[in-house]
Amino acid sequence: MGIIIKTPEQIAGIRKSSQLAGHALEMIKGFIKEGVSTETLDNIIEEYIRDHGAIPATKGYNGYPKSSCISLNEVVCHGIPSPDIILKPGDIFNIDVTTILDGYYGDTSKMYWLGEITPKAKQLIDDTYHCMNLGIQQVKPGSYFGNIGFAISRYAQAKGHSVVYEFCGHGVGIDFHEEPQVEHTGRRNTGPMMKPGMIFTIEPMINEGKSRTKVDKHDGWTARTIDGKLSAQYEHTILVTETGFEALTDVTGEYSE
Ligand code: MF3
Ligand code: CO
Ligand code: CO
């Protein structure tokens, strides 16, 4: 199969879906309050996605039951929204939304927090955001996928954090998970070469302690740090353009070249 080069028509469709996913992450900010369950947030996200003519890609994906992933504190990724998980001050969490609009996929996530959080937690969140941005800055025609992981892991390690290597970014757009796997650790100028029209996610998961994760035996999805320390993640869907990149899921305008 190899890495799909998207046509202009496909790019336009993927951009539209990606923008909807990005707007869902902005919309949900208004509902984040102490005492709210992650299932309530998930229901609001699902309604928003469907009201905009799209489908939540995660619902039913390999048996995953919900419209978003909401991963609190030591949960690295794939936290299943639940009526039993209630937000409280001091929590940090990632919300990950993937939309299917007119058959096209957009995938993005960001960090949220409630009330006072520790300086260490805030630092981890800020450093993770910077890791994603360093990865994104490596994207241009002729660059290599290994440069993304190199830039991310060098910075994370300099800040005293570890990089999760058991979950990766991925090609996206026509399907949920396409080639290539986008690793968040790597060596310079290794891996496939980037070409205009490629679309993939960059979604580093950065841990305060050890990098290893463990998937919950009971639900089969929730991945936690093995040491119970905090984890953070940001994700954008990125297009390789003729001159560099476009962050398709960005709705804040901060990546305009
Ligand atoms: N959106 C996630 C990603 O970034 C994938 C979630 S798959 C699920 O790749 F089944 F856990 F929802
Ligand atoms: Co993804
Ligand atoms: Co995602």
Domains and CATH numbers, the chain: 8-247 (3.90.230.10)
Q: Is 91 in the pocket of ligand 1 (CB under 6 A)?
A: no
Atom 7, ligand 1: residue with shortest CA distance: 58
State residue 1's pLDDT score: 75
In angstroms, the Cα distances linking 120 to 8, 40, 76, 208 are: 43, 28, 17, 9
Q: Can you give the pTM of this predicted structure?
A: 0.98
pLDDT tens-place string over residues 37-61: 999 999 999 999 999 999 999 999 9
Nearest atom in ligand 1 to 68's CA? 12
Atom 9, ligand 1: residue with shortest CA distance: 169
Nearest atom in ligand 1 to 201's CA? 4
Q: Is 203 in the pocket of ligand 1 (CB under 6 A)?
A: yes
Atom 4, ligand 1: residue with shortest CA distance: 107
Binned at pLDDT 50, 70 and 90, residue 21 comes out as very high
Binned at pLDDT 50, 70 and 90, residue 182 comes out as very high
State residue 250's pLDDT score: 98
pLDDT tens-place string over residues 102-141: 999 999 999 999 999 999 999 999 999 999 999 999 999 9
DSSP type of residue 140: S
Residue 209, both tokens: 């302690």
Atom 12, ligand 1: residue with shortest CA distance: 58
Whether 222 shows a pLDDT value over 60: the answer reads yes
Whether 256 shows a pLDDT value over 90: the answer reads no
b/e string for 66-89 if b means 16 or more Cβ within 10 A?
bbbbbbbbbbbbbbbbbeebebee
Q: Which residue has tokens 């996928």?
A: 145
Q: Is 64 in the pocket of ligand 1 (CB under 6 A)?
A: yes
Which residues are found with C-beta within 5 Å of the ion, ligand 2? 107, 201
**What is the pLDDT of the chain when averaged over all its residues?**
98
Q: With CA atoms as reference, report the closest residue to 240 among 185, 186, 202.
A: 202
State residue 190's pLDDT score: 98
Q: Is 107 in the pocket of ligand 1 (CB under 6 A)?
A: yes
Whether 161 shows a pLDDT value over 90: the answer reads yes
Q: Is 78 in the pocket of ligand 1 (CB under 6 A)?
A: yes
Binned at pLDDT 50, 70 and 90, residue 257 comes out as low
Dump the DSSP string for 10-50: HHHHHHHHHHHHHHHHHHGGGG--TT-BHHHHHHHHHHHHH
- Sequence-ordered strand ranges (E) for 52-103: 55-56, 69-72, 75-77, 92-101
Binned at pLDDT 50, 70 and 90, residue 216 comes out as very high
Atom 8, ligand 1: residue with shortest CA distance: 58
